[in-house]
Amino acid sequence: MIAPLLLAAVTVTGAWSRPAIDTGVVYAQIHNNSGHRVALVGASTARARHAELHESTSSMGTMQGMTMPMESMHPVSHIVIPPHGTLALSPGGYHLMLLGLRGPLVAGQHVVVTFHFSDGEVVHTAASVENRGM
């Protein structure tokens, strides 16, 4: 029997999204409350045809004396969260990319997202759609 106050192995807090037409994003803090490594292996939502884990990376380049940030992005298959660690999905870093939205995301709405983890755990969270910068 599981004690009612026992913390789930993984919890998700602060999930949010942005207004979008075809391509959306979800950010969140994902906490590994267990003493072993857990990997985020995927996500899904009824609001989009596909949800993929991506990472934005940045490097600095100098173009004729102008120093500028060069932003790139690539899909990732999984993201490991160390024991008692927190994974931040945040602007400019790891994020959940929503592809083929089934309708626009509008500020004030919520997007229900299901995160899938390597230990078989599944966590549902509601991301609020917000007009936020960073």
Q: Which residue, 11 or 52, has its beta carbon nearer to another protein?
A: 52
Q: Which residue, 35 or 65, has its beta carbon nearer to another protein?
A: 65
- Give residues in contact with another protein (CB under 8 A): 18-25, 49-50, 52, 54, 56, 58, 60-61, 63-64, 66-75, 91-92, 95, 97-100, 131-134
Q: Are 126 and 112 in contact (CB under 8 A)?
A: yes
Q: Are 116 and 42 in contact (CB under 8 A)?
A: yes
Q: Which residue, 34 or 52, has its beta carbon nearer to another protein?
A: 52
Smallest gap from Cβ 88 to another protein, in A, equals 13
CA 2/CA 46 separation, integer angstroms: 30
CA 81/CA 84 separation, integer angstroms: 8
